[in-house]
Structures are given as C-alpha cells and as structure tokens.
Structure 1
Amino acid sequence: MRNSVKLSSALLGTVKLSALSLALITAGVAAAAAPVTVRYDKAAQQLVAAQDGREIRIPATDTQLEAHCLNTDAAGNQSVFLVAEEGLGAQWFIADAKGLLTQPLLVRRMALPPAATQCAVDQGTLYVDEENVGIWAYPADAEAALERRPVLLQQPWGTLTALGAFTALNGQLLLHAPETETLRIFAPADSGPYREIGALQVPELEGLDVEGLTVTGTRSDGMRLVQVDADEGRFEIAIPWTPAPAADTAVDDVPVITVTPSVQTEPVARLGDAADDPAIWVHPTLPSHSRVLGTDKQGGLQVYDLEGRRLQDLRVGRLNNVDVRDGVTWRGQRVAVAAASNRDNESLHLFTIDAKGVVTEAGEVRTKQRDIYGLCMGRGARGEVYVIANQKDGQFVQYQLRTSGRTLDAVPVRRFALSSQPEGCAVNDRTGDLFVGEEATGVYRLPLDPKSSAAPQPVLKVGPHLKKDVEGMAIYHGTDGDLLVVSSQGNDRYVLLDAKAPYRVRGIVQVAAAPREGIDGASETDGLDVTSANLGGEYAQGVLVVQDGRKRMPETPQNFKYVPWSRISEALKNNLAK
C-alpha cells in the first residue's frame, strides 16, 4: 500500500543530481511538534492515526486498501483519503486545529477509478491514478462536488507511454519514468492536461521497481526529502526545492476567512435538492426563543429552535423562499408574518408567528405569476409591509400586505424585471433599498418605494469576488453600518459588502467543518438569512444561517448551518472597521 501526504514546494527546470545529494538523509529536517501521523496496521488491515501516544483507528475497508493520502483544509481540519480496490474511496476526518479527534468521522464516500493504486494531495487537489489510463484530479475539500478532470493520460488518449509512481509538489506532479530513470515534472497548462516542464536525473533509481513516492520533509539547506518505496526496499533521496510564495489570503485585497458553524439543524424530510431558504424570527422579549424557518421545496416549511431542533414540519407544498416581518396588525393583534413562494400553486403562502414561536398557516394569495421562485419581504417608510416575489424569466411583482377582516391579503403595487433568472433578494428597512440578484450577472439595487420608476442599478457584478450563481442575500444591521451578505454559490462562499454606495466588499467567508462538534461545513448554498439581534450566548452579535447544499458527515438530506456572527466579526475586525 502506498502513502502520500500534503505537500508544498516548487520544482522548476531540468536538474542533474549528484550521487552525494541522493544519499540517504536522516539529519537536518525540522520536525513539527506533536504531528498527527497515520500508519497502516497490516494485521488489522486498517489505518491508525496517532498523536502524543494516543491512537484512533479508521474502520477497515470492505476490500483491499491500496493507498491513502492526507489533507489539511483552511480551518486546520485534517482528513485522510482511502483508496481501495474497485474504486471504493472514502474521506475521514482524523484531527482538527486542536489535535487528534476522539474518533474518526466519515466525511463522504467517493467513487474513484476502479483500478486506482496511488493518491496524493496538494494545494486542495486530490490526485488519483487509473491503471493504463492516467492520473485524475479531484477537489480535495470536504464540501466540494465529486468531480474529476484528467491531468496526465497514457496513449492513445495522451502522451505518456507508461504510468509510474508519482507525488505532487506545489501544484505540480513528480512522476517516476522507469524507461528513462528520471523523475519527470509536470505543471498545469492553460487548458487540458498538464505539460512537462523538466526532469530530474536520479542514478540511484536505476534498475529499481519503484512503487511509491512520498515527500517527507525539508532539509535545513532547502533540499526536499522524498521517500522512495521500491521492491528492493525503502530509502530517501533529496531533490532541489524552492519554497513556494506564501498563499495569498485575499482576493484583490479583500480578505478570505474561514469560520465554522456552531449548530446544524435536523435535516429536511427528503433527499435531493430540497432545503433552500431560511428566515430568522427574533422573539420580541425572549431572544433565546427565536426561531429559524426553513423551506423544504419538496414539500413544506420547517421550524427550528436555536439548537437546530425541528419543532414543526408544515407539509403545505413546494415552498421555495421565505422571509419574515413583524408588526403586522391582524385580528386585532400585532403579529409577525412569514411569506413563502409556493411553486405548487403559484401563490404567496402566508403564516403567522405567535408569542410562543408557533407558526400557523394564515392562507394563500393566488398570483398571476408563472414559475414563481424567489421572495423577500420589506417594510416601507410608513410601516407598510411588502412581499417581493420573482419568477424564472426575470419578472418581479411587489405586493403590499393588507388585512381584510380576519384574512391577510397581498395586493400587487409594482412590477419590474431583470434580463435573466433571479432568485435572492433583500430589503434594508433602514434605508428603503431593495437588493435583487440576477444569478448569472450580479446584484442590483432599486428603491423599495413602489411609486419609484427607477431602474435597477448594478451593485456588484459577477467577477473576482462574486461567482455565479448569485443566490440568497440578507442585511446585517451593524452599529457602524449595514452589510449585505450574498451567497456566492459558484465557489461555496459568502460575500460581505457595504449596503450603501460605493458598496465596498469587506470580506469573503467560507464555512468549514467543525469535526469535534460533528458538524460539516456549508456549500452550494441557495438561501441565507442573518440578524444582528442579540440572541444571547454565542449569538450576542447575531447569527448567520445558511442552507447547506451538500450534507456530509454523514451524508443525509440537506439542512441549515448556524454561524455566530462573532466568529465572522473577529476574523474581519480590521476590515469591518469604518
């Protein structure tokens, strides 16, 4: 079985190594304090992760284990990829930034090439071979989609005549070529498979049957140590290595931060693309009793508490988006009203929320819209409450909520349009600004006032900060100003920008797993909501709630993740300062 580890180095050009530089080296390597190590227990046929004399065992695979390789994500979580016979792969968390976990956690099962025998991880990419075919690259992040692309292919699909042992270094591949007794270096091309950029002459490998290469460390003189596993034994060689520049943590000077969720909700009822959009209702007197409403577009509305427990499951139809506003007078009382877009009936589905946080249906308002889709709510300057709903062809209809006897009604008061499919929208009640998202192009702003004839004006285009699809959005009311939070679904991130011109981007957030708490990260997010209300405890600065499109650890129906705003504000405190 071959081993691989996460690497960071750079190899350039063609270099001939002397016999002295290729000698076995055991000195001059700086060892990390108390590293997490992984070994293969051949008798038990399972991997063992260890740190400071403590061990945890990853359950044995059902078939022969061929290889394993390690990965560390942006949050410091360490995982191990398993490559077994017949393409049976898996990813397990074994440690976080605090150290070894109490038990390994299965992240996901993976369908890998059926004849895979090697793997390596480098710079967020998992490389796996396929016998007689070549080498494939997969995203290594636990939240990434299971997609692959070819990077090196054998004839007749590519230029390689044979596929030997390989490892990865700083985004490049180091491949043993037995026919030339060299270590060939391949780097990414502008498009298509990798291209060869050099080779290392390695006399000590002549005549050996090399089965595996593993980068094990860096010598004090900068030479990189590579462990060679061959039929003839195991030894180390040293190769020239220039450390890569430190990774840029910003996008055009905008910091990219990684935070972890504190809570995840119970999953929605059905598999597939189901959970979509959350809305936060803040209890007026007992903030800890606040609720999170989440749509299940396969059949209803979920109601959760701040611990993520499902309190209600209202099977009322395929609800896509939901939002909440309080202070509506209905049946002689001031109540909170939630509105959702019901795709079964092309309607606005209305609900009330009482002082105990109980959500009750309050009727439907049939619309003349077709393919009703996204939705948000807002409050006008005179206290009136609006529902803004869109449809997939870009048309928006703005409704005003009104009460008539013992019923709630919604009356159209304005129509406008974007050029292509929208979904997410948000209203800043403080300023009367309505923000709308066009999935393929970006975010726009127009006045909430239905009497306004102003056309939508661009706020943030799809580009380096925001990746399509542009999805959910919400307003965070900060003490120093308001922020617009937007789901950048194309790269599994969330963009924070000022909610007033010139709409400066303040930070980009990604939500990673919290393995010690048993919570996976968030990705492929549709809807989100945020509040700055003090909900107590870790939510004293509010909370960001996001839909998780890829539920891992274990793989179950989708759910929602809660991220304390304090974790975001602490990481971005310098950039959020006005």
Structure 2
Amino acid sequence: MHRSVIVRSAVLTVVTALAAAALAVPAEARHRVHADALPAVPPRAETPPLHDDEEGGHADADDPAIWRNAAAPGRSLVVATAKEGGLRVYDLDARPVQSIAAPPAAGEDHAPGRFNNVDLVHGLRLSSGRADLAVTSDRGHDRLRFYRIDRDRASGPLTDVTDPLAPPVFSRDQDEIDDQRTAYGLATWTDPATGKAYALVSRRERTTVALLELLPAAGGRVTYRTVRTLDLPSSFRLPDGTSWSPCGEPGELPQVEGMVVDPANGVLYAGQEDVGIWRLRADLTGTPKLIDKVREYGVPGVYDEETEECAPGDDPGFGGTRISADVEGLTLLTESDGDGYLLASSQGDDTFAAYDREPADANEYEGGFRVTAANGALDGSEECDGAAALNAPLGSKYPRGLLVVQDGHDTLGDGRDATGFKFVDLGEVLDALDD
C-alpha cells in the first residue's frame, strides 16, 4: 500500500491494518502496485532501435533535446545522444535526419568519444553571428562539444563548431581522462541579467557539478571556462542517528546525471541517481536542498565483487514514496500561465514523477504517469535515462507540444539488446496529470 494513502487515512485501526499488510508484501511488489496505479500515456512514434554492439556501431540511446523551428514548427528537430554512436537527429516522425560520429580515441590505449547528455543554447553570440547550438558532454574525452543548428543546410542541420583547444572539464591530463571520471550529466542556462550562457556539468562517479561559461572562439567556434564547482554530499545522516552512503563499486561516489535549469528563476534541479532530487541555484552558490528521496534512500548495501552488484539489506523506511533509483532524466514542463511541472524519470519502476516547479510551493508532488504500449503497435519506455519536454505548438503532429523519452529496453524480435526514443503527445501527459 502506498505510504501516502496510509497517512491520509483518518482511522487509526485501519492505518495499522494497512501498514501491516504493506510490510508483508516485498518492496519490489509494492513499487509495482504504485506504478500500475498511475495513468498510462501511449507514445505516438519511436525512433529506429540503436544497438550497442559492433554490428550496431556501439550506439546506445541516452538523452534527447527538442529544438523548435520558429519559422516552421512542424519541421522542428530532436537531437539525441547515442554514446559511442555519437549524435542522432530526428524529425517529428522520429525518422533519422542526420548521424554524427563521436570523435575517435586520442590513441590506441585511450577511450573514444562517448556522448552522454545533450541540451540546447539559443542565440549564442559567436564571432560569425548568433546561432542556436546543441551542446553535448563527451564523456570519453572529458570535453563539451558544440554543434550549430541550421535546419536547411544541405548536408545536415548540425555542424561541429567546437574549439579544438577546448580544455578537459575535470581532468588534469590524459591519465585522468583514462580513468573516465569525466563530464557526464549536462544542463544549459542563460542568465537573463547578464546574457551570459553557461553549461552545468556533472562528473561521473563523483558528486561534483561544475559551472562553465560558454565563450566564442575564433572562426565561429565555441569554448568554455570553469567558473566554479560544487560537491553534493556523498554521505547522509539518517533519522536514527546513523550515517549512510549509497552502495557502489569501491571508490565510486553517488553521481549526478539528470539536470535541468528553470530559466524563470535560475534554479537548478539535479538528480543524484541513488539519493534523490536536489534544488540549488544555477550559479552554484547557496545551500542545496534535497526536495525528494528515492525509495531506496537509507537502505544499506554490500558490494559483491563477483556479481558486480550491491546486495541490499533491510529497508529502515527513511526513503521517499514516489521515485525509485535511479532517478534519471529531469525536464521542465512550462505552462503558458507560468505554472508547470518538473518531470523526473523514476528508472527503478518505469514511471515519471511530476512536481510543482515553484520552489515557493516546496516543489510538491503533483502526480505521475507511465509511457506504455499503444494498441500493441509501439512498446512503452522502460529503464528511462533521459527525457525532454517542450510545451509549444509543433505543427499538426504535436499542436500541444512534445515529450521525448529514452527507452532503455526496446522490444525487438532478433534477440539483441536495443535502446531508442519514444515521442509522446505532451497534451496527453497534461491531461493525465490534470485528472
């Protein structure tokens, strides 16, 4: 039984009976009951599957961004990362428009480029004029990569405009890059007070988030400089006075990946995968606040070297009730009246949670939904890594906007593991949340 249902009950005897019954059901089953009770929204389209193997070019879907063509909204684009497979660009029918390879390895013993997350910057001033850019974190080389967006360019809408002298984000040298504690999660932000554009970048297997100012370079290219960094906690004091850290491989700290900045107030939301969702200033000053916890928060675990997995202990009951680890893709759904939602992918139970986007309202939980199969034609989204929402008309196909979600377990008939992206009518999501 969902914990919030127990809290709302006014009769103590009923509360006691329901709580006892809930404890008798395994935690995984309780989470599944919660997920199945949420409204279902079907996808309208899906991209061709990506395969993370030699035959598929080591392409693995991860994170999308939606670029709106203001002159012709029906010709808007979705830009998405495919890790070692580089970038993919899709039209609104989820058909491939362009494929961009990740940069090669710096040498035989080094990692190739690996594009993890992507976001957009609009109207950045370059030496060649203003341009919209797709920005991606290259985990393999510990850099940011920049691609100018020109929808009608004959050879494809994206052009690489990365300054070849752009420095590593976190690493001091190639040896540190080879350790792959490198640029991971990514969100962009333009400060309305100064007009300066930034990228907020998290570090793989660490709790660090860096604020990078994006800068024009010669020849219409783009580089960046580090303004400051902030480390989120890796250990937490529990209500019973004990200390807890999420279980992981030796030396691995609880990393952040999903991030998004609310442009209305300069608030950054950051998903610490095994912990929960943080709210903090996008300029990385002030004190971060944990606005929700994953259900597994506080559960002890022991790492097994042989299985390379963590064996969980007993749940002390200090976690949240709405999201299950990992908390992944974060995106904003902004409404015309200024209200809207922060959406979070609850990867552990294949659902999406919606929170009030106003910090003044304590980012209250507003409900959730699932992206599920549509009449047997399209499967849903499972183990979702990344998500992007755009609440603006996108032609006749998506007059109320679009939600794009990664599908971490695409359904195929040839036995290979595959991933991809599902396109969802944002109007149907809003209807589900309003019911």
Fold-level similarity (TM above 0.5): yes
Among 338, 342, 362, the alignment partner of 2:161 is 362
Write out aligned runs for 1:285-324 (5 A). 285-316=71-102, 317-324=113-120
Q: Which residue in the other structure is 1:422 paired with?
A: 256
Higher Rg:
1
Work out which structure has the larger RCO, using CA pairs closer than 8 Å and 6 or more positions apart in sequence.
Answer: 2
Residue 316 of structure 2 is aligned to residue 520 of structure 1:
no
Kept in 2, the 8 Å contact 1:482–1:499? The answer is: yes
Q: Which residue in the other structure is 1:138 paired with?
A: none
Residue 207 of structure 2 is aligned to residue 394 of structure 1:
yes
Among 387, 391, 404, the alignment partner of 1:532 is 391
Q: Distance in 2 between matches of 1:288 and 1:376?
A: 25
Q: Which residue in the other structure is 1:433 paired with?
A: 267
Kindly provide the amino acid, as one letter, of the partner of residue 416 in structure 1: L
SS of the residue aligned with 1:288?
A: helix
Identity level (%): 32
Q: Which residue in the other structure is 2:344 paired with?
A: 486
- Compared with structure 1, are the counterparts of its residues 554 and 479 closer, same or farther at alpha carbon in structure 2 (3 Å cutoff)? farther
Q: Distance in 2 between matches of 1:541 and 1:377?
A: 24
Kept in 2, the 8 Å contact 1:249–1:256? The answer is: no
Q: Distance in 1 between matches of 2:77 and 2:388?
A: 12
Q: Distance in 2 between matches of 1:554 and 1:333?
A: 48
Q: Which residue in the other structure is 1:458 paired with?
A: 290
Q: CA RMSD in A?
A: 2.4
Q: Distance in 2 between matches of 1:491 and 1:505?
A: 17
SS of the residue aligned with 1:503?
A: coil
Q: Distance in 2 between matches of 1:434 and 1:538?
A: 31
Residue 420 of structure 2 is aligned to residue 559 of structure 1:
yes
Encode CA deviations 1:361-418: one digit per residue, 9 max, x unaligned. Answer: 1115332413221111111123221111111211111101111332211111120012
Q: Distance in 2 between matches of 1:488 and 1:273?
A: 23
- Compared with structure 1, are the counterparts of its residues 535 and 436 closer, same or farther at alpha carbon in structure 2 (3 Å cutoff)? same
Among 111, 126, 136, the alignment partner of 1:340 is 136
Q: Which residue in the other structure is 1:326 paired with?
A: 122
Q: Distance in 1 between matches of 2:34 and 2:145?
A: 42
Q: Distance in 2 between matches of 1:432 and 1:444?
A: 14
Residue 374 of structure 2 is aligned to residue 495 of structure 1:
no
Residue 267 of structure 2 is aligned to residue 267 of structure 1:
no
- Compared with structure 1, are the counterparts of its residues 562 and 329 closer, same or farther at alpha carbon in structure 2 (3 Å cutoff)? same
- Compared with structure 1, are the counterparts of its residues 554 and 562 closer, same or farther at alpha carbon in structure 2 (3 Å cutoff)? farther
Kindly provide the amino acid, as one letter, of the partner of residue 84 in structure 2: Q
Write out aligned runs for 1:112-511 (5 A). 256-268=38-50, 270-271=52-53, 274-316=60-102, 317-356=113-152, 358-363=157-162, 365-369=166-170, 370-381=181-192, 382-391=194-203, 392-406=205-219, 407-418=221-232, 419=234, 420-449=254-283, 453-462=285-294, 463-480=320-337, 481-501=339-359, 502-511=362-371
- Compared with structure 1, are the counterparts of its residues 191 and 276 closer, same or farther at alpha carbon in structure 2 (3 Å cutoff)? closer
Kindly provide the amino acid, as one letter, of the partner of residue 367 in structure 2: G
Kept in 1, the 8 Å contact 2:209–2:229? The answer is: yes
Q: Distance in 1 between matches of 2:34 and 2:349?
A: 14
- Compared with structure 1, are the counterparts of its residues 249 and 558 closer, same or farther at alpha carbon in structure 2 (3 Å cutoff)? closer
Q: Distance in 2 between matches of 1:431 and 1:404?
A: 29
Shift in Å at residue 360 of structure 1? 1.0
Kept in 1, the 8 Å contact 2:186–2:202? The answer is: yes
Higher helix fraction: Structure 1 or Structure 2?
A: 2
Shift in Å at residue 330 of structure 1? 1.8
Q: Distance in 2 between matches of 1:521 and 1:259?
A: 9
- Compared with structure 1, are the counterparts of its residues 524 and 249 closer, same or farther at alpha carbon in structure 2 (3 Å cutoff)? closer
Among 525, 548, 563, the alignment partner of 2:407 is 548
Q: Distance in 1 between matches of 2:83 and 2:127?
A: 30
Kindly provide the amino acid, as one letter, of the partner of residue 267 in structure 1: P
Kept in 1, the 8 Å contact 2:169–2:182? The answer is: no
Kept in 2, the 8 Å contact 1:255–1:506? The answer is: no
Kept in 2, the 8 Å contact 1:341–1:375? The answer is: yes
Residue 370 of structure 2 is aligned to residue 571 of structure 1:
no
SS of the residue aligned with 1:526?
A: coil
Q: Distance in 1 between matches of 2:227 and 2:323?
A: 31
**What TM-score results when the alignment is normalised by the length of structure 2?**
0.71
Q: Distance in 1 between matches of 2:128 and 2:182?
A: 34
Encode CA deviations 1:344-365: one digit per residue, 9 max, x unaligned. Answer: 2111111110142701111153
Higher strand fraction: Structure 1 or Structure 2?
A: 1
Q: Distance in 1 between matches of 2:412 and 2:169?
A: 42
Kept in 1, the 8 Å contact 2:269–2:279? The answer is: yes
Encode CA deviations 1:419-447: one digit per residue, 9 max, x unaligned. Answer: 22111100111211111111111111111
Encode CA deviations 1:530-551: one digit per residue, 9 max, x unaligned. Answer: 1111102241121110000010
Kept in 2, the 8 Å contact 1:538–1:566? The answer is: no
Which ranges of structure 1 fall in alignment gaps of 5 or more residues?
A: 1-187, 193-247
- Compared with structure 1, are the counterparts of its residues 190 and 495 closer, same or farther at alpha carbon in structure 2 (3 Å cutoff)? closer
Kindly provide the amino acid, as one letter, of the partner of residue 383 in structure 1: G
Higher deviation after alignment, 548-557 or 343-352? 548-557
- Compared with structure 1, are the counterparts of its residues 300 and 273 closer, same or farther at alpha carbon in structure 2 (3 Å cutoff)? closer
- Count of residue pairs brought into register by the alignment: 327
**What TM-score results when the alignment is normalised by the length of structure 1?**
0.54
Which ranges of structure 2 fall in alignment gaps of 5 or more residues?
A: 1-22, 103-112, 171-180, 235-253, 295-319
The 4+ residue runs of structure 1 with deviation greater than 3 A are 188-192, 248-251, 269-273, 553-556
